[in-house]
């Protein structure tokens, strides 16, 4: 269970290079899709497909890119074992090519870059289908079947093409960015990305000058009112069950925290909206934490009480120490963990071993709870609808006016704990890219985020660019 994800999480140097402004967030429960029928055939035996993605759900079949033809389809997908599979299918269903990785992709906090490169005109069978992850060619496959020379498939054909679904099932859950296809060229991943010279992290480059060829496309998701816009200038893709709120600033050049479905303690927590909405199930306590833990710097996030809240004591928001949290088993309220601090919906502010520190305002549906974590001075503050509780002043530094003291100093996650007794309590987390419509438009001092209320001076959204600059 990673503290902050390895791989492509962004870097300090990314800020000075090419920046990806937006992604699109798929919530599989909404059955979202982007689709197009080109109306004519492109080159069917030579093309390159590139996309960046961040998964939210593992263990289910999810398609990344797919084209449907009668009785057959070509696709890239994750299977239920989280292996990545690229299937190339000849028009009549014969002469299939398949690459299915041995390794599994289960990191829900990292951005990945996929390049699939087809050239069946190549005389070397093993070079006709080539797959790359984060700039490195995959060479270890559970299944490897190469198409015969000069075979044609369905991608680029006058058929229905889909991003993030098979058309009616296997919906992707997570984030897409920089989705691009180049027809009639077999391109190396260096046409789409490069290794950062300082960090060694694979990062995107500007692809807008590439030549798309017939039926090539480039979806950059920069227009919230037209997420299917082709930035190459071709025909726009149709949108189904996607809205302006599905545009996200969580991207492959600035990775934002989400809640982590791989490490809840307690049973039956449902995650949605890119792991930003949390819905508890049965009546035991559940504690779930952010994908990023911090030990230094000053950080701000908001949680919206969506539904089911009644001002009772069944919900709490706070921080939990990484050491004890990751070592724990079973169901606990957050305040029952060693090294945890929480603000409950009934107003009780508690520390570890369920000890009450003070009583603040209760909160209920539609209230927004802000949390300001000052790891430099080991102070913690909460706000309700923009008003910091206990006359708190997050800018007071070591004085800690109205703060709770964080002890001991260690890595801490931002966390939520809930119990469904008396009704299911639904929360949505906002680490800067909210899953709901937010008119506040408040940002941190570096211009990151979309928060309902003003971010205290010196505090920052929990993303990788800020981590690189201000510590974590």
Tally of CB atoms within 10 A around 336:
18
Which pLDDT score, from 0 to 100, does residue 70 have?
A: 67
Token readout for 46 is 């030579």
Same domain, 294 and 160: no
Q: Across the chain, what does the average pLDDT equal?
A: 90
Same domain, 317 and 355: yes
- Please check whether residue 456 lies inside any domain of the structure: yes
- Please check whether residue 74 lies inside any domain of the structure: yes
Q: What is the CATH number of the domain that holds 369?
A: 2.60.120.920
Distances in whole angstroms, Cα of residue 84 to Cα of each of 197, 304, 385, 441: 28, 35, 43, 38
Query: Mean pLDDT across the stretch 309-338?
Result: 79
Supply the DSSP string of 178-194, one letter for each residue. Answer: EEEEEET----GGGTEE
Q: Which of 248, 278, 300 is the last residue of a domain?
A: 248
Domain that holds residue 179: 12-248
- How far is it, in rounded angstroms, from Cα 20 to Cα 5? 19
**pLDDT of 122-141, one tens digit each?**
999 999 999 999 999 999 99
For the chain, the domain total comes to 2
Same domain, 295 and 159: no
**pLDDT of 149-166, one tens digit each?**
999 999 999 999 999 999
Which pLDDT score, from 0 to 100, does residue 4 have?
A: 39
Q: Per-residue confidence at 108, pLDDT binned at 50, 70, 90?
A: very high
Same domain, 275 and 367: yes
Which pLDDT score, from 0 to 100, does residue 448 have?
A: 96
What DSSP state is assigned to residue 258? Answer: -
Query: Mean pLDDT across the stretch 54-72?
Result: 90
Which pLDDT score, from 0 to 100, does residue 435 have?
A: 92
- Please check whether residue 261 lies inside any domain of the structure: no
Q: Per-residue confidence at 228, pLDDT binned at 50, 70, 90?
A: very high
Specify whether the CB–CB gap between 463 and 23 falls below 8 A. Answer: no
Q: Would you say residue 101 has pLDDT above 70?
A: yes
Q: Is 244 exposed, middle or buried (0-12, 13-18, 19+ CB in 10 A)?
A: exposed
Query: Mean pLDDT across the stretch 179-185?
Result: 98
Lowest mean pLDDT among 33-42, 348-357, 383-392, 417-426: 417-426
Q: Would you say residue 428 has pLDDT above 90?
A: yes
Q: Which of 183, 214, 248 is the last residue of a domain?
A: 248
Which pLDDT score, from 0 to 100, does residue 465 have?
A: 95
Measure the CA angle with vertex 253, ends 201 and 472; round to 5°: 75
The percent of residues in the chain predicted with pLDDT above 70, rounded, is: 91
Same domain, 208 and 297: no
- Please check whether residue 55 lies inside any domain of the structure: yes
- Please check whether residue 39 lies inside any domain of the structure: yes
> In residues, how long is the chain?
472
Same domain, 136 and 44: yes
Find, among 382, 359, 357, the residue nearest to 369 by Cα: 382
Same domain, 199 and 241: yes
- Please check whether residue 253 lies inside any domain of the structure: no
Lowest mean pLDDT among 9-23, 157-171, 221-235, 284-298: 9-23
Q: What is the CATH number of the domain that holds 101?
A: 2.60.120.200
Same domain, 293 and 344: yes
- Please check whether residue 358 lies inside any domain of the structure: yes
Same domain, 125 and 181: yes
Same domain, 292 and 167: no
Same domain, 171 and 213: yes
Q: Would you say residue 95 has pLDDT above 80?
A: no
Q: Per-residue confidence at 71, pLDDT binned at 50, 70, 90?
A: low
Distances in whole angstroms, Cα of residue 339 to Cα of each of 44, 318, 345, 360, 380: 58, 11, 20, 20, 13
Q: Which of 184, 216, 248 is the last residue of a domain?
A: 248
- Please check whether residue 347 lies inside any domain of the structure: yes
Same domain, 85 and 202: yes
Distances in whole angstroms, Cα of residue 155 to Cα of each of 45, 67, 112, 238, 258: 9, 6, 22, 17, 33
């Amino acid at each position: 269970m990673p503290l902050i994800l390895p791989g492509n999480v962004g870097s300090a140097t990314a800020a000075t290079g090419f920046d990806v402004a937006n992604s699109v967030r798929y919530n599989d429960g909404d059955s979202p899709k982007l689709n197009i029928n080109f109306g004519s055939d492109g080159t069917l035996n030579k093309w390159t497909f590139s996309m960046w993605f961040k998964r939210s759900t593992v263990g289910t079949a999810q398609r990344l890119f797919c084209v449907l033809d009668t009785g057959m389809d070509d696709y890239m997908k994750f299977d239920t074992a989280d292996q990545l599979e690229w299937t190339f299918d000849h028009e009549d269903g014969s002469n299939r090519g398949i690459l299915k990785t041995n390794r599994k992709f289960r990191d829900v906090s990292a951005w990945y870059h996929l390049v699939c490169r087809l050239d069946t005109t190549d005389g070397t069978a093993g070079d006709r289908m080539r797959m790359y992850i984060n700039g490195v060619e995959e060479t270890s496959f559970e299944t490897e079947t190469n198409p015969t020379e000069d075979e044609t498939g369905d991608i680029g054909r006058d058929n229905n093409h889909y991003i993030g679904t098979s058309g009616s099932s296997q919906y992707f859950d997570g984030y897409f960015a920089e989705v691009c296809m180049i027809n009639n060229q077999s391109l190396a991943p260096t046409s789409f990305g490069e290794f950062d010279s300082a960090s060694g992290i694979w990062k995107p480059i500007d692809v807008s000058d590439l030549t798309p060829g017939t039926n090539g496309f480039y979806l950059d998701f920069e227009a919230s009112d037209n997420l299917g816009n082709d930035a190459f200038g071709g025909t726009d893709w149709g949108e189904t069950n996607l809205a302006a709120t599905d545009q996200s600033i969580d991207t492959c050049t600035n990775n934002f925290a989400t809640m982590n479905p791989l490490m809840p303690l307690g049973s039956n927590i449902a995650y949605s909206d890119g792991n930003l909405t949390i819905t508890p199930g049965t009546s035991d306590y559940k504690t779930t934490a952010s994908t990023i833990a911090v030990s230094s710097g000053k950080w701000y996030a908001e949680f919206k009480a969506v539904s089911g809240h009644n001002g009772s004591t069944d919900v709490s928001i706070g921080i939990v120490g990484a050491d004890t949290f990751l070592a724990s088993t079973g169901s606990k309220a957050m305040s029952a963990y060693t090294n945890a601090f929480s603000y409950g919906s009934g107003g009780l502010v508690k520390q570890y071993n369920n000890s009450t520190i003070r009583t603040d305002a209760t909160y209920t549906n539609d209230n927004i709870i802000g949390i300001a974590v000052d790891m430099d001075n080991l102070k913690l503050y909460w706000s309700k609808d923009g008003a910091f509780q206990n006359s708190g002043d997050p800018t007071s530094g070591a004085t800690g006016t109205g703060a709770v003291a964080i002890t001991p100093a260690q890595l801490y996650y931002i966390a939520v704990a809930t119990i469904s007794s008396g009704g299911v309590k639904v929360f949505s987390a906002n680490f800067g890219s909210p899953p709901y419509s937010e008119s506040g438009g408040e940002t941190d001092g570096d211009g990151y985020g979309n928060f309902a209320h003003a971010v205290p001076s010196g505090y920052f959204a929990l993303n990788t660019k800020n981590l690189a600059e201000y510590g974590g």
